[in-house]
Each structure stands twice: as structure tokens, then as C-alpha cells.
Amino acid sequence: MHPWSTHRPFCVIFLLCILLAADPSEVLAQQTVTIVIMPKIVGIPYYVSVKRDGVDKAAAELPDARVIWIGPSQPLVQRQIRLIEKILPLRPDVIAVAANDAQKIQPILKKAASQGCHIMSWDADTGFREIFVNLVDYQKFGHNLVKTLVQQMGPRGQIAIVTTSFAAPNQSRWIEAIRQTIATSYPDISIATIRPAGENTENAMRITKGIIRDFPAIKGIIALGAPNLPGAAQALASLQREQAIALTGNSTPNIMKPYVKNGIVKRFWAWDVPNHGYLSVYTAYNLARGRIAAGKPFAAGKLGTFVPQKDSRGLFIIPGDPISFDAENINEASF
């Protein structure tokens, strides 16, 4: 007989006493959590920066977390759905998704939740989740884009919008905010057309050329999506219309430096891309640990503490205010 076997009942009781006496959160904290971070698309410079400068750095600070970065090679919700189906057998603790379509992705997210997985959205919201890590305040962002265009073209005339997709939640909310700002503050501005270009610079250039051809009196263009603003800038340059048509939108400084330096884009808008990826990981980690609740602060590493807010859609956090970049400050950024 093994010497330990004679004391087994006592040892089992002793271990149970220790577990029962322990703080449940301390026991949970000893377990490794698996977090899946899914972008809209992988491989484009924007999400490369999110991962390298934000997600990976947060993951390195959390030894008890396994962070998996996985996403489609094209910004298609069907591909996101298939990837999540393949992930579910791993039993992840959290799936954090930037949705390409808020409605179509819901069934697979509900399936994941039914299997015990926490659901979170980041970048682009879903219709089903526990918390959303937004990019920026929608209304502020839309207002800033319109104001920047007005500073260049004046308070009247036709404008156009190049978007990524009508189904992408962040795009639709930004467009809604742009419309509201125009209706409230600039009634002499009209939106001639809104056209999707995916998340592709070549497509954005082609779409922008088509807009200028179809609406020769256009005075301004807002290009939404980090790859799309440089595409619109290339279109203006190739048609030699950079002086006649005002252009702004959102992108990242590293991508936009050539277009700001040559004057095609006077000012554009962004947010702190690395910090957004970093905060998304910490939010997912705290969600897995049971530390996310409305009005309850949680720690997010070097960024300090954040307090989730609640609206009609559920819990959300916003990392900070929109950031504008122009010729004076673009060299100070490195993402």
C-alpha cells in the first residue's frame, strides 16, 4: 500500500478546506484564461499596428492569459463566422470581435455564449455582447470630420463619403453623426453620394475617381477607413484636383505622412491605435476574471483605470478623444 493512501481521506478534507476558505477570485486568478481577439481583417497596416503595438504588448504583461489574434483575410462577416466556428472547440473564455456586420454575426456569438464564452466587441460593435471597447465617441468624430471639411471648402456645397461597408457598425454610426452635424450646423451642405470601397486603397482610389466623374461640382470628400483615405488622396493627385476638392477622413499617421507633407490632405483624424488594441486585451482579461460591471473601475495596465458606462446598447468604454493630425504634428506619431 502506498504510504499516502492511509492518509488520503484526511488529505482530501484538508485540501477541500483550503479551497473553501480561499477567495473565489484568488482561485480563479490562478487559472489561465484564453482570449480571442478578432479584427475585421488581418494584414493591413492599421491592424498590424493594433496587434504589434497594442495587443501583443498587453498580452506580454498578462502571464496568466493566452491571447489569440485571428481574423479573415478579407473584411467579410461570413469568414469571421467560419473562424469562430473553428475556434469554439478550444473553449475560449472570451471572444472579442470587431464585427464586419453587427446583425449577421449575432447567431454564432450567441452560440459561443451558450457554451460559456464571454462575448465582447471592440472597434466595430455587435448587437450581442457584454461590453464594447469603442474607438471614439461617434458624435464627436462625425462633428470633427465635417468641421475639418468646412474649414477648407466653406459652409456650402456638395460632398461625398467613401466608406468601407454599409454593414460595418462603426461606419454606419459615423455616417449617422456626419448627417446629424450637417443637418444641425451646415444646412447648405448636401451629401451627393456615399460609396463603399471595402478596406482597400486601390478600390478607394477607383471609387473616388468615379465620384469626381459623376459629380464634377463636388467640393469635399470624407474617406472613412484607414486604407481608404490614402486611396482618395491618390485619386485627387492623379486627376490634379487636390486644390479644388477638400479631403479629410480617418487613417493612421504612418500611412498618411506622404499625403500630408505634399498638401493633398490638410488634416485628418484618428485615435490612439496601439492603446485601443492594448485596452481591448485588458478589458477582455477583466471580463474573464469577472471584474467588469457598470460604474466599477478596472485596471488596464499602463493606461490606468477605466469605468464602464451603460447605455441602451449595454456596457461600453471609450479610450479617449479623437486626435487630429496635420503637417505640424504628424512626425510626432509612430503608428
3 state SS of 250: strand
Q: Which domains does the chain have, with CATH numbers?
A: 31-135+273-320 (3.40.50.2300), 138-270 (3.40.50.2300)
Q: What is the pLDDT of residues 180-208, one digit of tens each?
A: 999 999 999 999 999 999 999 999 999 99
Using a pLDDT cut of 70, give the percent of the chain over it.
91
3 state SS of 71: coil
Q: Tell me, what's the pLDDT at 26? A: 46
Q: Is 280 exposed, middle or buried (0-12, 13-18, 19+ CB in 10 A)?
A: buried
Indicate the range of 8-12, 126-130, 230-234 predicted with least confidence: 8-12
Average pLDDT in the 153-166 region? Answer: 98
Select the more confidently predicted residue: 12 or 111: 111
Using a pLDDT cut of 90, give the percent of the chain over it.
88
Going by C-alpha positions, the residue among 258, 72, 264 that lies closest to residue 165 is 72
Average pLDDT in the 71-82 region? Answer: 97
pLDDT category of residue 4 using cuts at 50, 70 and 90: very low
Q: Tell me, what's the pLDDT at 334? A: 85
Mean pLDDT of the chain: 92
In sequence order, what are the residues at sequence separation of 6 or more whose Cβ sits closer than 8 angstroms to the Cβ of residue 195? 160, 161, 162, 163, 207, 210, 211
C-alpha cell, 229: 483615405
Percent helix, percent strand, percent coil in the chain, to nearest 5: 45, 20, 35
Side chain identity at 76, as an amino acid letter? Answer: L
Give the position of cell 459652409: 155
